[in-house]
Structure 1
Amino acid sequence: MKRYSTLLIVLLILSVFTTACANSEKTEGTDAKNKYEGLTVKIGVQGSGGLFGKAREEKWYETEFEKLGVKVEWAEFLSGPPMTEAMASNKLDFAGLGNMPVIAAQAAGIPIKVISQAIDGKNNVAIIVPTNSTIQSLADLKGKKVAVAKGSNAYNFLYRSLDDAGLKDSDLEIIQLQTDEAQPAFESGGVDAWATWDPYITINTLTGKGKVLTDGEQSGILSPSFYIVREEFANKYPELVTLYLKVLNKSLAWEEANQDVALDRYAKERNIPVEVIKGTLTRSKSINIPVSDEISKELQKTADFQFESKNIRKEIEVSTIIDNQYIEAADKEPLK
């Protein structure tokens, strides 16, 4: 009798153990399935069309994210600062923007991570003047009107360039204008110079409306751009950050393999000549690479200058928000 009682106890223990394991596996499976339930990834872009325009048309992001049950939502912006403001209110997860908006966001305490470098920064930002202008050097800007979008990478480039030339912002009249306002002001003579970025540099130089006074390559003041993510999102869904960069790599691979098609497409989107688009891509070639120590140091120079100029309220260490783990993971395992 004792023998049968012992056997019954053993069977009961095994039954409980098996049930517990089954329930555990069921719970884990349910958790994995529900991890992204109701999640919508919000991707910010500056304007429509371009590299992201092709991806949006082909639904490359939607296709990859929906495999995980995640929806994709797009939001268009005119410049970087509004993008970081959207991140601050949890209304945006990913964005591509210039160096100054990144620095301003970190200084303002907006929790973001820099996940890759988007543009090298040598020729994508410049100070341009009308073709018939008598302005030959930065010193000639004294007493002149210069347009710039406050908080943009061009804003930083302008102020650092003036500092190198021994000029103060009070030596000229700096007019804060977004690109849609600055272009007509530049064409009409409402301003004497314009600190801006591409495609506006190329559009104006190739159409004969303007010429470059100085850019990053000439001055040594780089204006790299970056891809960033909302920090909370990255901490919670690191694999989705890597996926975002993988799809971006796919888009860049398409552009590289179909250059003529891409040029024609981008030209039609903006209703401008192919030559202008070709010049734009030369000045602002899109990349998606880890942020090097050299670029990190250049970004720190900008941050230090902006603090000294009281354009940001506190000193920051930019290396603390640079995180290359996602782009390194994306490069190791590209999309099939």
Structure 2
Amino acid sequence: MKLHHELIGLSLLLAFGSAHALDTIRVAIGTQDTTINCATGGLLIRELHLLEKYLPHDGKYKDVKYDIEWKNFTSGAPLTNEMVAGKLDIGSMADFPGAFNGAAHAKAGRKSIFVTVLSGSTLGSGNGIVVPKGSPVQSLAELKGRTISVPFASTAHGMLLRAVRAQGWDPDKDVNITTQAPEVAGSALQGNKVDAHADFVPFADLFPHRGFARKIYDGSQARSPTMHGSLVEADYAKKYPEIVVAYLRAAIEADRLIAAEPEKYSELIAKVTGIDAEVDYLFHGPVGLQTRDFTWKPEYRQAVKTSIDTLRLLKRTDSDLDVNTFIDDTFIRTAFRQAGLDYDRQLKNYDKLPLKARDAVTGKPITDFRHLTQIWVRGEPLVRHYASATTAIAALRQLEQAGRKVRTVYAHDQGSGLKLLAGDAWFVVAADGKDVSAFLLKADAQAQAAKVKGKVVDFDTLKSGKAM
């Protein structure tokens, strides 16, 4: 009888062990590949197989099999729909659609949590407003009574509403705001079918780079912080906290890789998304347009709170979503600790990705980035760096005279430090012709020119040498 019971016990143990060995845990992740500042939370993890490196295989996860699913979206709203429907466990999006994600979960009797920032700007750069290339419009102030398209329920939509109100306008009366997805906006701008278009990363810079639009407004002018980050379905995070941390460890690894080799991984992003590598580098390269940052700085918390308030104002939700419980930094803090990083130290760090480089002409280390100008030459794997626009433009002329093709030139706005595509900037040439400063807005350039008794020129004039 004793032997019989032992055999039964052994059979049950074997049966349990077999069932345990066959356990499969789904890790379903929604990405926004073309929203390139989500790259460290999606595209790079997927393409470099980083999640597999960190998923747990001990303790309760011993012998577990993982069913990793990836699904790409062009915006946050459809990604949210699939999260609410239980088809996704993790997703990345901006503050505005992220707030909508939390409200949508609450409406369905569920909960999502914002677990990390991926990239953002405490000032608001990244979102922007563009006009057709040939438009005479130079500023938002000139768009009263005009049609401005924007992807509805996007972070750019929130920026546009705040920017319009900052002008003292009624968004329902003083401008005609229409909905338009980024993939449609490009042809609309080329066909002059809209007066202006507001969009999120990277389209407010991609369209000018491709030559059919001009950026007239950067989100930083509204001084309203913006960010993209990752959300997790709360029950999933509670059940599998180690998997959430593993995902964040993979994101941290992706961030380390692109920080070390921004040109290389900008090319990878371009290969996958079709977003030009020059624009990817504008964001992800050193002293870039936005900062990759995984910590919940007060400004990013405020961005989420502002988005919740804006949703209520638009009557898109009546949710009483509490930002203090919606944002949960415990998982990213654990991931930092496991990676040997100091979360609290990074929380206080507001610096952009630093540039450690030497001037391509003098060979001297570059320490002052106010006049930093960079040239990406076709066929060269690395971007060239110059301490001043004057030497960079001289080098550019020599390259073109030698028949070399240039992919793009970067400059920095003298007022804000904002990284610019030089071809879309205005330049002030001092009276002596030696000092050259870049500006996003023509009005800012004109004000500076008046101070230094210089002249304002566009990039083509500067490049030609006629302004010097």
Runs of 4+ in 1 over 6 A off after TM superposition: none
Q: Per-residue CA shift, 1:160-219, capped at 9, x if unaligned? A: 111121222222222212111122112211111111112212212233322222222221
**Residue 25 of structure 2: aligned partner:** 39
Matches within 5 A, 1:158-307: 158-170=160-172, 171-271=174-274, 273-281=276-284, 282-287=288-293, 289-307=294-312
TM-score when normalising by structure 1: 0.83
CA deviation after TM superposition for structure 1 residue 225, in Å: 1.3
CA distance in 2, matches of 1:315, 1:264: 42
Q: Look up the match of 1:3.
A: none
Residue of structure 1 in register with 2:415 after alignment:
none
**Per-residue displacement from partner, 1:1-25 (whole Å, max 9, x unpaired)?**
xxxxxxxxxxxxxx9xxx9xx99xx
| DSSP-derived class of the 2:148 partner | strand
Is this contact kept in 1: 2:206–2:276, CA < 8 A?
no
Partner SS for 1:166: coil
The range that moved more, 78-87 or 250-259, is 250-259
Q: Distance in 2 between matches of 1:236 and 1:217?
A: 39
CA shift in 2, pair 1:271/1:107, >3 Å = closer
2:89 is equivalent to residue 93 of structure 1: yes
Instruction: Specify the SS of the correspondent of 1:151.
Output: coil
User: Counterpart of 1:153?
Assistant: 155
| Distance in 2 (alpha carbons) for counterparts of 1:276 and 1:168 | 33
Residue identity opposite 2:46 in structure 1:
R
* 2:108 pairs with 1:102: no
Contact 1:124 / 1:283 at 8 angstroms: preserved in 2?
Answer: yes
| 1: CA distance, partners of 2:184 / 2:201 | 15
Give the letter for the 1:262 counterpart.
Y
Q: Give the stretch that moved more between structures: 72-81 or 158-167.
A: 158-167
Give 1:270 deviation, angstroms. 4.5
More displaced stretch, 82-91 vs 204-213: 204-213
Look up the equivalent residue of 2:52 and give its one-letter code: E
Q: For the Cα contact (< 8 Å) 2:76–2:97, is it kept in 1? A: yes
- Greater RCO, 1 or 2 (C-alpha within 8 Å, sep 6+): 1
* 8 Å CA contact retained: 1:61, 1:244: yes
SS in 1 for 2:292: coil
CA separation of 1:305/1:31 partners in 2, compared to 1, >3 Å: closer, same or farther?
A: farther
CA distance in 1, matches of 2:264, 2:303: 35
Q: Work out the CA distance in 2 between the residues paired with 1:300 and 1:126.
A: 21
Q: Measured at CA, do residues 190 and 280 of structure 1 come closer, stay the same or move farther in structure 2, by a change above 3 Å?
A: farther
Give the letter for the 2:92 counterpart. Answer: G
Structure 1 position 258, deviation (Å):
2.0
Tell me whether 1:329 sits opposite 2:315 in the alignment.
no
Q: CA deviation at 1:272?
A: 5.8
Report the CA distance between 1:285 and its aligned residue. Answer: 4.2
Q: Is contact 1:185–1:191 with CA below 8 Å preserved after alignment?
A: yes
| 1:235-255 CA distance string (max 9 Å, x none) | 111111111000111111111
Q: SS at 1:224's partner residue?
A: strand
Counterparts of 2:260 and 2:244, CA distance in 1: 25
Q: Is the 8 A contact 2:131 2:195 kept in 1?
A: yes
1:62 — aligned with what? 52
Looking at structure 2, the residues matched to 247 and 131 of structure 1 have their Cα atoms a distance apart, in angstroms, of 40
CA drift at 1:319: 1.7
Q: TM-score, normalised by structure 2?
A: 0.61
Distance in 2, matches of 1:32 and 1:326, equals 29
**Structure 2 alignment gaps of length 5 or more:** 58-63, 341-468
Q: Is the 8 A contact 2:103 2:319 kept in 1?
A: yes
CA 94–273 in structure 1, closer or farther in 2 if over 3 Å, else same: closer
Structure 1 residues 55 and 138: alpha-carbon distance in aligned structure 2, compared to 1, 3 A threshold = same
- Corresponding residue number in structure 2 for 1:319: 324
The whole-number CA distance in structure 2 between the counterparts of 1:148 and 1:303 is 19
CA shift, 1:271, in A, is 4.8
Please give the per-residue CA displacement for 1:38-95, whole angstroms capped at 9, x wherever unaligned.
2111011113795543432332223443845222110010101111111101101111
Contact residue 100 and residue 152 of structure 1 kept, 8 A: yes
Q: Distance in 2 between matches of 1:154 and 1:53?
A: 22
After superposition, the Cα gap between the structure-2 partners of 1:298 and 1:275, relative to the gap in structure 1 and judged at 3 Å, is closer
Relative distance call for 1:301 and 1:58 in structure 2 (3 A) is closer
**Residue 4 of structure 1 aligns with which residue?**
none
Shift, 1:30, TM fit: 5.2
- Partner of 1:111 in structure 2? 111
Q: Give the conservation status (yes or no) of the 8 Å contact 2:114–2:328.
A: yes
Query: Against the structure 1 CA distance between its residues 31 and 135, is the aligned structure 2 distance closer, same or farther, given a 3 Å change threshold?
Result: farther
Instruction: Tell me if 1:308 matches 2:294.
Output: no
Letter in 1 for 2:257: W
Contact in 2 for aligned 1:304/1:315 (Cα 8 Å): no
Q: Give 1 or 2: higher helix fraction.
A: 1
Partner of residue 68, structure 2: 72
Q: How many residues end up aligned between the 2 structures?
A: 311
